Amino acid sequence: MLPNKKQHLGQKTNLHPRNKHRERYNFKQLMENCPELAAFVKPNKYNDLSVDFSNPKAVKILNKALLKHFYSIKNWDIPDGYLTPPIPGRADYIHYVADLLADSNNGKIPKGSKLSCLDIGVGANCIYPIIGNREYGWSFVGSDTDATSLASANKIIDSNSSLKGKIELRLQSSSENIFEGVIQKGEKFDIVICNPPFHASLAEAQSGTMRKLKNLNKRKESKLSLNFGGQSNELCCEGGLRGFVKNMILQSKEFSTSCLWFTTLVSKESYLKSIFKWLEIVAAVEVKTIPMGQGNKRGRIVAWTFLKKEQWYFDK
């Protein structure tokens, strides 16, 4: 063993117990399933096989390999410059909301296409609907304000027979609205998921990327690149995450009977006080905070419902 060999834990125990990515990446196996990944794999300073996580192309091809190996998605790609999500964290969100739904269903996770999920901001990558459908068989509606993102997501769906007919995409034509124009009259969803834009400006997003690069032991680079990519509408919105979640909560009141659980990711614990205040203003009947561990970060899901327990439903 090399003297500087890092001692690794066998599992990423901070991830959900059902998360398929708790084990360290088996790059040899991933390269067998996705040969194009080999161009980006090399030993790191601990003599382990890895990829350069500051390289957007490497991260994108790694995602392609993970989706092919773990979820049988044979064809996946996104336009250059669009957000390449870290798949283990995205899978965690799906598994935790599955537990939330189980709590509302006598402890049993509802599975199958009759369980309907609305993904606000589905993105070009279509990650949440892919994982939710492949893990639990749920049907999805994904909304986005960006037509290019929807075209990319549609291409992914059309090129994978396992996804056809199970994911519907809708354009949100108004940047001011979250649910209006997406949820149709009389339509009901069991759960809404949302990974909102984190930043209030592109400069703030770039500052966050510089911190990531520093954490990846990278020296100052002459040209800034977002290691997971991302268009401005994917990364930023007026008021940042706090502003987006405020609007989401206020607007959810108008659709109080259209969904059993509304949920969103919240990156910073310091945001919770104001979020709980807004939920009190709209008179949410029940609010839950679900802690999550994603890599070196701690996050959480905030969930709320306007329905009393006797009104809870599942389309079976």
CATH 2.60.40.420 fits 81-311, yes or no: no
Tens digit of each residue's pLDDT, the chain (316 residues): 333 444 444 567 789 999 999 999 999 999 999 999 999 999 988 899 999 998 999 999 999 999 999 999 999 999 998 989 999 999 999 999 999 999 999 999 999 999 999 999 999 999 999 999 999 999 999 999 999 999 999 999 999 999 999 999 999 999 899 999 999 999 999 999 999 985 344 444 444 444 444 554 554 444 444 444 544 444 444 557 889 999 999 999 999 999 999 999 998 899 999 999 999 999 999 999 999 975 556 799 999 999 998 888 765 4
Radius of gyration of the chain (CA): 20
Q: 251: closest CA among 154, 170, 181, 147?
A: 181
Q: Distance (Å, rounded) from C-alpha 21 to C-alpha 14?
A: 11
How confident is the model at residue 93, as a pLDDT? Answer: 97
Residues 45-57 as b/e (b if ≥16 CB within 10 A, e otherwise) read: eeeeebbbbbebe
How confident is the model at residue 211, as a pLDDT? Answer: 47
At residue 261's C-alpha, the angle toward residues 260 and 263, to 5°, is: 160
Contact 128, 88 (CB under 8 A): no
How confident is the model at residue 204, as a pLDDT? Answer: 44
- β-pair type (116-120, 139-144): parallel
For the chain, the domains span: 81-311
How confident is the model at residue 83, as a pLDDT? Answer: 87
How confident is the model at residue 13, as a pLDDT? Answer: 76
Share of the chain above pLDDT 90, in %: 72
How confident is the model at residue 198, as a pLDDT? Answer: 57
How confident is the model at residue 215, as a pLDDT? Answer: 52
pLDDT in tens, 184-222: 999 999 999 999 985 344 444 444 444 444 554 554 444
The torsion region of residue 72 among left (phi > 0), alpha (psi -120 to 50) and beta comes to: left
Stated as kind and residue range, the H or E segment containing 104 is none
How confident is the model at residue 142, as a pLDDT? Answer: 98
How confident is the model at residue 309, as a pLDDT? Answer: 87
The torsion region of residue 292 among left (phi > 0), alpha (psi -120 to 50) and beta comes to: beta
